[in-house]
Amino acid sequence: MSFGATAANRLLFISIAYDHFSSTRTLDTVTVGGASATRLVRAQGAAAVRNAEVWVVDAGSGSSISASTSGNVVLTFSGTGLAATIVVCRATEASQTASSTSTGTTSATITIPASGAALFAFCNNGSGTGSLSNITEDYNSNSSTDMRGIHGSKASTPGESVTSTFSGTASGSQMAAVAIQPA
């Protein structure tokens, strides 16, 4: 996957939606180009079947992937049999620490700090169409005949509260959002 151009203060945010098809599974680790990522937020269904998460990894100066512009993103789960969608977002001048997080089934509300941004990950059962409101959709597709992943973002110069809601037929959905503050 593309990591974007190198930069001294580059961070990579990994937005993940996954479905384990009626089996309880967890996402245990994420590596990006071999570097370990840190989970910022997880929205997990009652049976841990459908999940949405956002992780971050330092990809700037001094990191093991500072010179890399692409590489593998490896997800390690507690079991097999799943479908997933993944989006990698590059950021500079951002903090690895989330300013806030939010989870929900069909919507999430988050306060974006001034000069900050927010990332959203959404997982829905089934292959029906749908979209997320009030954000830019960066990816919206079926990973299989039984799972739709939607990933989106919103930047805010003045800072604002944003609610994103899924429009479509929701079934066992999960949404996770993280607000990213400037460094």
CB 85 within 8 A of CB 131: no
Q: State the DSSP string of 83-113.
A: EEEEEEEEESSEEEEEEEEEEESSEEEEEEP
Q: Is the pLDDT score of 48 beyond 70?
A: no
Q: Give the gyration radius of the chain's Cα atoms.
A: 15
Predicted local confidence at residue 36, as pLDDT = 98
First to last CA, the chain: 25
Predicted local confidence at residue 181, as pLDDT = 95
**Rounded to whole angstroms, how far apart are CA atoms 132 and 138?**
10
- The whole-model pTM stands at 0.94
Q: Is the pLDDT score of 27 beyond 80?
A: yes
Q: Is the pLDDT score of 47 beyond 70?
A: no
182 to each of 11, 91, 99, how far by Cα in Å? 12, 10, 9
Work out the percent of the chain whose per-residue pLDDT is above 70: 97
Predicted local confidence at residue 22, as pLDDT = 64
How confident is the model over 163-179, as a mean pLDDT? 92
